[in-house]
């Protein structure tokens, strides 16, 4: 499924990222937050983030 989100261009400029990189980071940040809140298991959060479980654990440490 694809989700379209309107973002101001300044968001990309502030982080010095292309839209695709920004979207990837946003996915990871959302998955980390939902995991932190106990809404998703580690495995499901990793899937949402588009990472392996090991990659997700690395993202948690960042």
The answer as to whether 38 is a domain residue is yes
**Does residue 9 fall inside a structural domain?**
no
Helix (H) or strand (E) holding 44: helix 42-49
pLDDT at 13 > cutoff 90? no
Q: Is residue 10 part of a domain?
A: no
Residue 24: what pLDDT? 93
Q: 17-21, 38-42, 44-48: which range is least confident on average?
A: 17-21
Does 46 fall in a domain? yes
- Domain, as residue range, for 42: 17-61
Number of domains in the chain: 1
This prediction has a pTM of: 0.84
Cβ neighbors of 30 (< 8 A, separation 6 or more) are 48, 49
Residue 8 counted as domain residue: no
């Amino acid at each position: 499924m694809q989700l379209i989100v309107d973002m101001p261009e300044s968001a990309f400029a502030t982080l010095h990222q292309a839209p695709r990189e920004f979207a990837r980071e946003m996915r990871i940040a959302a998955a980390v937050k939902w995991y932190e809140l106990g809404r998703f298991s580690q495995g499901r959060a990793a899937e949402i983030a588009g990472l392996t479980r090991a990659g997700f654990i690395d993202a948690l440490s960042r």
